[in-house]
Amino acid sequence: MAAANRAPVWFIAHGGPPTLFQTQHPAHKHWVQIGQEMREANLKGLVVVSAHWQAELGTRNPRIVQINTDPTNPMYYDYYGFPPVFFKLKFHATNPPSFSKLVADTIKKEGFEVNETKRGIDHGVFIPLKICFKDELHVDSQHATPPIPQESGRDGMPEGVPLCQMSLPDELISGHDAVEASIALGRALRSLRDQGIGIMLGGQPVHNLRVAFSNMQSGAPNAKTGLYPPTPFSQAFSSAISKAVLSKEGGEKGRDERIAGLLGHPAYKQAHPSDDHFLPIAVAIGASYADEPVKEDTPIAESGMAWNMYRWG
């Protein structure tokens, strides 16, 4: 497949279950746009990596990941404390054995080991994709938790577009080792794009839930935007990610170094108390090319969070 027809890479700020019903939130609106982009790309498949799945193999081997081989892609409700409706959400997607095998074989050729497992798709995948490919969502409120939201239950991937979720590198790897392993994973996946297979990474540019929840309890959103005021660290790190991702200086090597260098940013530890929501950005950097177009949307800091999203290709 010519580079002009290469499938895109999307880094998506995946939000949380309530964002699903916050129709006026900039992230929700952009998910709708991403869905249109995915349809127009005529994808042959979609590989997804979420912040909510780091390989659980008890090894520090940076070159081993897990891949879901369950052909039905069941729902994995990896959250708690929400109303019952959030445990009834559905998103229909298939993962044929031939597709998960293609993904596994592709990264094996690049030196990765693969641990096959049957696991559902987590909310870092199904929350944004439900809006990307929504059938019908009845919404009672644009804020936090709606009273009794109802949905059609028919949201799902377009017909003929399989979806395979795979893990980040092992959870025991952290810091620079985890970033380097995540970039390498993206590189290993990159050739799939030339077969028409898109790559989606679900994370969050800033992810400090303790601060976010505290601000929600003690403050109020802006009357015009509906967003909570940003913190100094969320603004600083959101801006730093923009500069690191969008700069073309130094080509591929320079870009890799800028992403790894963010670990030393003064705001990093507040922006990311743990690495998990940052690592999908590193995978996206590996899966994309330094010389291809990159587009940024919703570079918005909100409370202890940020919503920068990117598309390459």
Q: Is the pLDDT of residue 139 over 60?
A: no
Q: pLDDT tens digits for 6-15?
A: 999 999 999 9
DSSP 105-136: HHHHTTT-EEEEE---B-HHHHHHHHHHT-S-
* pLDDT greater than 50 at residue 155: yes
Give residue 135's pLDDT band: very low, low, confident or very high (50, 70, 90).
low
Q: How far is CA 201 from CA 132, 185, 296, in A?
A: 14, 12, 14
According to the model, what pLDDT value does residue 143 have? 43
Entry pTM:
0.93
Domain coordinates in residue numbering, the chain: 3-312
pLDDT of residue 141: 42
Instruction: Assess whether pLDDT exceeds 80 at residue 103.
Output: yes
164's enclosing H/E stretch is: strand 163-168
Burial class (CB in 10 A: 0-12, 13-18, 19+), 229: middle
CATH topology of domain 3-312: Protocatechuate 4,5-dioxygenase; Chain B (3.40.830)
Q: Are 43 and 157 in contact (CB under 8 A)?
A: no
pLDDT, mean of residues 137-153: 46
Please state the rounded mean pLDDT for residues 5-27.
94
Q: Determine how many CB atoms are found less than 10 A away from the CB of residue 41.
A: 18
Q: pLDDT digits over 38-73, tens only?
A: 999 999 999 999 999 999 999 999 999 999 999 999
Average pLDDT over residues 8-35: 94
Q: Report, in angstroms and rounded to the nearest whole number, the Rg of the chain calculated over CA atoms.
A: 18
Return the pLDDT at 261: 99
